[in-house]
Each structure stands twice: as structure tokens, then as C-alpha cells.
């Protein structure tokens, strides 16, 4: 979670009077069968704090009713419910009453690039995943060679970045050997065959810990692979590392400290997919998988100078992935190019029968060789006008100029506020980690993390449901605003800026992608963010790819150059 996210959440709490909603929930929590009921005076004060005008008789009635309600709460058996316990209902980002077009066309992946093995294999460390796959497929290098190169770089550079939780060497070597054997037998499992990658450490992998970034979960293991890992393994990719996530997927601070930005190790890599962003940027993996609840793919991508794709909510199964915001969590890739992100998405997307939020019948439609891209691009003038950071303003102007060169038409639009996303996320987190908190394990966490988990456990179900009703209104308003454009451009440069990474796109579940846009005066990368229509990742990828080509050649952080 970025500083901007924290401010937005706290600001929303103040705006919505969150503290006044704590008391009714807290009262119910205090009553247990066989104990004395809360007196009328306590109910009267709680009602006053919650803004409820109850009579004395109504307060008396509520005091009696709470006792019977508490018996129902006891029957929930909260202690036996874990983070992975499924819910019987699922969020659908398609707004009621507004048609969501089905993706048109098939997926045609980029043509395999022509590559030549360099004299020194480590020169391939920063190659796009599609180029690594071509090198392996043409038998100029084996998957084992490439895997050993990345394993060596992970060991060599992790001391600076603090991004690798577990280097999965034995698994990686076995998977690489299997990929090479398949290739010898004439079997190519997919477009990522033999390519080493890493996953955020909230994603379950058998045979290695999945620590969620928490100091007291260092030995937590699961006996299964998450769906996203299974699909990558079946597609021939090679898992080389579990990459750092902020504690319980909060920010870039985890059990062993902060994950650092490869361009400037004096600052963090931002967002809870911190390790995935840093390792990809530093050439320690071919690509990485992250998760995004309120910006945790997009913000590390922007900070570290890589491409981060947050797909439509429900595009990729979250089975086997730690639940944070149940109706907000998305799984997506962080890569060195837009095409890489599209190729990875083509491998991991689609229903699995486990995560029922992933719909049937909405395939990825991406015609990569066609090079056609959307040209009617929305922007929010108020965001641009409110930006006071000089680098951010220059970044915006540069992005607008690039889009103009691409023949795009900029259309001013107005989007609804997305401030509710943080309220909904944090209440869902409190539920997801309820048994963890009740068991006292939260005491091992940093005070900020522990505080959020405990405070949001005291919000009322009424407020949570009403927030989601308001969310539906916001979804409808956003759909109407987007109906006049093909995509929307945001600034993603200053992560502390109120104009960056607009939260409404997370709340509504629209796909978004962060694309590098050069460098600020400080030498740190800059980026822009594009958001597209629901399930239209193909069009979004086409626009981002055109923008990427127009911006020019990508640079890599010099601190991690081959041979260093």
C-alpha cells in the first residue's frame, strides 16, 4: 500500500464517520451466551455515536435483541475459518443495466523474434521473456543454462534489493531439465517454454514456504500450487524464486526489511508486489507474477520502470493466492515489455472451476501482429490541473505529446470518486485475517498492519453492504463515462500524488497497465497508466504496445548490469 492509499483510506474513515460505526459492532462482540447483557445506557450512547435517534424503549429492545443475536454469531465458528475459506458469492464487475461487450476476435500472439545468442550468456538477463523463449526454442541455449544464470543473479544481487524470500533452486533445475527434455522430444508446451520466472510470496507453491511477508509465518507451507503456478508450469515456464511482498500484502516492508528500487536502492520499490517489480527490473527473473488490490502491480511497475498489467477483475483465477480484498484482488504479470505481459496473460487467464469469480465465455482477444490500437483516449482534466509536482506535469505533457504522434484523439471525461475502494478493501482484509487476528498472531506484525486488521473488524455489516451498493452506482457512472472513449490515460509517475493510479479503476475492476515513459530529473523511472474496458485487455495491450514503441528503447538499471 502506498502513502497515497493510506491517506485515502484514513480520509475516507473520517469522511464516513467510520469510528461512529465501531460501537454497535463492538457491543455485539462483547456479549456472549451466559454473560450479562449490556445495559440500556450503553446502548443509548452507542446509538448516539452512530447517529441513530432511538427512543428509550427502542434502546431497551436492542439491548435484549443483542443477546439472541450473539448466539447466532457464536454458531459461525470463526476460529475454524481460514484465509482460504471460500465465500458463496462472487463480485461481478459488469454493472447492472449496462451491456458489457464480449471480446471480439481470437488471440494471435506476437511473431517469435529472431535472436542470436550473445558471446556472454548473462547479456540475456534483461531480454524480454519472448526473446528468451525464442533463444531456448531455437536450441541456442538450454533452459538449464538460462535458469542457472538467473539463479546466480538472484544470489548475487538480492543483498541490495532484498526481493527474494526463497530461491527455489531444486525445483527450478528440475523444471528446466524437464523443459529441455520436452524440447528434445519435439514438444513445446507454450510461448514461455523454458523461461524462468518468480511469483509474489502470497502465491502458494508446493515444496517452498509461502510467508505472506509476515515474520511469524516464515515456515508456512501449502501442499498445492496456486492455479497461476500450475498453468505456468504446464506451459513450460520455470519457477526460480518466491519474491517479496509487503507484510500481509501491505506496501514494500516485509519480515526481512524493505524491498528496494533497482534504480535507487535508497528508496523502496513500492506496493505489495514489490519483489516482483524489483526482480524483473533488475534482470533477476524473466518475468514475475504479482497481485493487485488497490495498485500493488501498477505502483511497483511505475517505481521500478517495468510494465505491469492488472487484468479485469476475475480474468485470472486467485485459487491458492492469499485473500486480501476478496472483491478487489487481481492477479497479473510484471514484465519488461507490453508484449511479454500479453503473452503471460494468455497462459494464465481463464476459469479453473476453483475461483468462481472467473467467468466462462469471455476469452482474451488480442491480435498482437495486427498492430491496430485504440485512438480515442479519455483523460480527466481535473487530475492534470491539480498536479503540482513538476516532474509529474512534465510526464503528463510528454505522454499527451506521444499520444498525439500516434494519431490519438484526447477526450475529456469525468470519473466518479473511487475512495470507497480502500474502505471495502480493509473491511474485507479484516474478515480474511479474522482467525489470524483472533489467535493473537497479529501481535507479531508491525503496529500499522495490526491496527488496520483490528480496527476494521469493528465496522458493521450494514456499512459494508451499503458501501457496495454505492459501489454499484460508481460502476454504472464509470461505465457511462467510459462509453465515449476506447481507453483512459492517467499519470502514474508520483506515487504520493493525489492524481496518480486513480482508485476508481480498481473499485470497478477495469483492466489497467503501467508503461514506462522515460525518467525524471532524479534518474528514477516515470510511467503512465492506461485503463480499458472490462475484459478488453487485447485493445489495452495494443494501445500500450504502440505507446511503448513510440517512447523508444527501454533502459536497464546500471547497478545490475551483466558482470557486476
- The backbone torsions φ and ψ at residue 348, rounded to the nearest 5 degrees and listed phi first, read -100, -10
pLDDT, one tens digit per residue, over 280-331 is: 999 999 999 999 998 999 999 999 999 999 999 999 999 999 999 999 999 9
- Say yes or no to pLDDT of 344 above 80: yes
Contact residues for 260 (Cβ-Cβ < 8 A; gap 6+): 160, 161, 162, 163, 266, 267, 268, 269, 278
Q: Is 276 a catalytic residue?
A: no
Q: Is 483 a catalytic residue?
A: no
- Say yes or no to pLDDT of 463 above 60: yes
> pLDDT: is 390 or 157 the higher one?
157
- Catalytic position from the list 142, 200, 244, 497: 200
Task: Say if CB 493 and CB 395 are below 8 A apart.
Answer: yes
Domain enclosing residue 219, as ranges: 124-352+370-418+472-553
CA neighbor of 444 nearest in space, from 254, 166, 200: 254
Question: CA 341 to CA 350: how far, in whole Å?
Answer: 15
| 424 inside domain | no
- Say yes or no to pLDDT of 213 above 60: yes
Question: CA 272 to CA 290: how far, in whole Å?
Answer: 8
Q: Which three cell numbers stand for residue 190?
A: 507454450
Q: Which three cell numbers stand for residue 473?
A: 452506482
What is the pLDDT at residue 74? 78
H or E, element range at 212: none
How far lies 461's CA from each of 220, 468, 524, in Å?
A: 31, 11, 43
Question: CA 340 to CA 559: how far, in whole Å?
Answer: 23
- Say yes or no to pLDDT of 73 above 80: no
What is the overall mean pLDDT for the chain? 89
| 448 inside domain | no
Range scoring the smallest mean pLDDT among 43-57, 305-319, 462-476:
43-57
pLDDT, one tens digit per residue, over 260-287 is: 999 999 999 998 999 999 999 999 999 9
- The backbone torsions φ and ψ at residue 479, rounded to the nearest 5 degrees and listed phi first, read -60, -40
Task: Say if CB 378 and CB 408 are below 8 A apart.
Answer: no
The SS3 call for residue 41 is helix
pLDDT, one tens digit per residue, over 168-193 is: 999 999 999 999 999 999 999 999 99
Give the max Cα distance, the chain: 86
Question: CA 57 to CA 38: how far, in whole Å?
Answer: 15
| 15 inside domain | no
Question: CA 421 to CA 313: how far, in whole Å?
Answer: 13
Rg (alpha carbons) of the chain, rounded to whole number: 24
Question: CA 3 to CA 445: how far, in whole Å?
Answer: 18
Query: Residue 45 has what DSSP assignment?
Result: H
H or E, element range at 253: strand 253-254
What is the pLDDT at residue 330? 98
Question: CA 252 to CA 166: how far, in whole Å?
Answer: 16
Q: Is 72 a catalytic residue?
A: no
pLDDT, one tens digit per residue, over 7-28 is: 444 443 433 334 434 445 544 4
Relative orientation angle of helices 143-161 and 274-281, to the nearest 10 degrees: 120
What is the pLDDT at residue 502? 63
pLDDT, one tens digit per residue, over 470-513 is: 999 999 999 999 999 999 998 754 444 434 456 889 999 999 99
Q: Which of 35-44, 223-232, 293-302 has the highest mean pLDDT?
A: 223-232
- Say yes or no to pLDDT of 449 above 70: yes
Domain count, the chain: 1
The average pLDDT across 332-346 equals 98
| 528 inside domain | yes
| 93 inside domain | no
Q: What is the CATH number of the domain that holds 143?
A: 3.90.1300.10
- The backbone torsions φ and ψ at residue 511, rounded to the nearest 5 degrees and listed phi first, read -70, 145
pTM value is 0.91
Task: Say if CB 238 and CB 197 are below 8 A apart.
Answer: yes
What is the pLDDT at residue 492? 59
Q: Which three cell numbers stand for residue 10?
A: 484514513
| 135 inside domain | yes
Q: How far is CA 497 from the centre of its chain?
A: 19
The SS3 call for residue 410 is strand
Task: Say if CB 301 and CB 338 are below 8 A apart.
Answer: no
> pLDDT: is 552 or 498 the higher one?
552
| 427 inside domain | no
Adjacent-strand bridge partners of 330: 292
Q: What percent of the chain has pLDDT over 70?
A: 91
Handedness of CA 428, 434, 436, 441 (dihedral sign): positive
For 309-345, give the secondary structure using H, E and C. EECCCCCECCCCECCCCCCCCEEEEEECCHHHHHHHH
Range scoring the smallest mean pLDDT among 223-232, 351-360, 395-404, 521-530:
521-530
- Catalytic position from the list 270, 273, 296, 500: 296
Adjacent-strand bridge partners of 253: 258
| 516 inside domain | yes
- Catalytic position from the list 70, 272, 276, 512: 272
Amino acid at each position: 500500500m502506498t502513502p497515497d492509499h493510506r491517506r485515502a483510506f484514513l480520509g475516507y474513515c473520517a469522511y464516513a464517520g467510520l469510528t461512529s460505526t465501531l460501537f454497535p459492532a463492538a457491543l455485539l462482540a462483547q456479549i456472549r451466551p451466559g454473560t450479562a447483557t449490556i445495559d440500556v445506557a450503553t446502548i443509548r450512547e452507542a446509538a448516539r455515536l452512530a447517529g441513530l435517534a432511538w427512543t428509550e424503549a427502542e434502546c431497551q429492545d436492542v439491548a435484549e435483541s443483542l443477546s439472541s443475536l450473539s448466539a447466532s454469531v457464536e454458531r459461525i465458528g470463526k476460529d475454524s475459518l481460514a484465509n482460504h475459506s471460500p465465500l458463496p458469492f462472487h463480485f461481478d464487475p459488469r454493472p447492472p443495466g449496462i451491456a458489457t461487450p464480449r471480446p471480439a476476435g481470437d488471440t494471435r500472439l506476437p511473431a517469435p523474434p529472431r535472436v542470436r545468442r550473445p558471446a556472454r550468456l548473462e547479456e540475456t538477463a534483461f531480454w524480454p521473456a519472448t526473446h528468451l523463449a525464442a533463444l531456448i526454442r531455437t536450441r541456442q541455449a538450454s533452459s538449464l543454462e538460462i535458469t542457472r544464470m538467473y539463479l546466480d543473479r538472484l544470489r548475487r544481487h538480492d543483498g541490495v534489493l532484498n526481493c527474494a524470500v526463497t530461491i527455489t533452486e531444486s525445483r527450478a533445475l528440475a523444471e528446466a531439465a524437464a523443459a529441455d527434455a520436452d524440447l528434445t522430444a519435439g514438444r513445446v508446451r507454450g510461448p514461455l517454454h523454458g523461461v524462468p520466472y518468480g511469483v509474489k510470496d502470497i502465491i502458494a507453491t508446493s515444496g517452498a514456504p509461502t510467508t505472506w511477508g509476515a515474520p511469524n509465518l516464515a515456515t508456512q507451507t501449502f501442499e498445492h500450487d496456486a492455479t497461476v503456478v500450475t498453468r505456468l508450469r504446464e506451459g513450460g515456464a520455470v519457477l526460480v524464486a518466491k519474491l517479496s511482498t509487503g507484510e500481509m500484502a501491505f506496501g514494500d516492508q516485509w519480515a526481512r526489511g524493505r524491498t528496494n528500487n533497482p534504480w535507487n536502492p535508497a528508496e523502496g520499490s513500492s506496493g505489495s508486489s514489490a519483489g516482483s517489480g524489483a526482480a524483473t527490473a533488475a534482470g533477476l527473473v524473466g518475468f514475475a507474477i504479482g497481485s493487485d488490490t488497490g495498485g500493488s502491480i501498477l505502483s511497483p511497475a511505475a517505481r521500478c520502470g517495468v510494465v505491469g498489467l492488472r487484468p479485469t477483475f476475475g480474468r485470472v483465477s486467485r485459487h491458492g493466492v492469499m485473500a486480501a480484498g476478496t472483491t478487489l484482488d487481481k492477479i497479473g504479470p510484471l514484465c519488461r515489455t507490453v508484449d511479454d505481459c500479453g503473452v503471460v496473460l494468455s497462459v494464465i487467464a481463464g476459469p479453473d472451476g476453483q475461483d468462481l469469480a472467473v467467468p466462462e465465455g469471455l476469452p482474451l482477444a488480442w491480435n498482437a501482429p495486427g498492430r491496430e490500437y485504440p485512438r480515442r483516449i479519455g483523460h480527466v482534466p481535473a487530475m492534470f490541473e491539480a498536479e503540482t509536482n513538476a516532474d509529474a506535469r512534465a510526464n503528463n505533457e510528454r505522454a499527451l505529446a506521444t499520444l498525439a504522434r500516434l494519431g490519438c484523439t484526447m477526450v475529456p471525461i469525468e470519473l466518479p470518486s473511487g475512495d470507497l475502494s480502500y474502505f471495502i478493501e480493509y473491511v474485507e482484509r479484516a474478515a480474511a485475517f479474522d482467525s489470524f487476528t483472533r489467535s493473537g498472531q497479529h501481535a507479531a506484525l508491525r503496529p500499522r498492519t495490526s491496527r488496520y486488521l483490528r480496527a476494521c473488524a469493528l465496522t458493521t455489516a450494514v456499512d459494508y453492504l451499503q458501501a457496495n451498493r454505492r459501489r454499484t452506482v460508481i460502476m454504472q457512472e464509470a461505465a457511462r463515462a467510459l462509453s465515449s472513449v476506447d481507453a483512459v490515460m492517467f499519470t502514474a509517475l508520483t506515487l504520493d500524488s493525489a492524481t496518480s493510479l486513480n482508485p476508481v479503476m480498481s473499485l470497478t475492476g477495469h483492466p489497467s497497465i503501467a508503461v514506462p515513459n522515460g525518467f525524471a530529473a532524479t534518474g528514477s523511472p516515470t510511467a503512465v497508466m492506461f485503463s480499458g474496458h472490462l475484459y478488453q485487455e487485447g485493445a489495452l495491450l495494443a494501445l500500450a504496445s504502440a505507446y511503448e514503441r513510440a517512447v523508444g528503447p527501454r533502459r536497464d538499471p546500471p547497478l545490475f548490469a551483466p558482470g557486476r
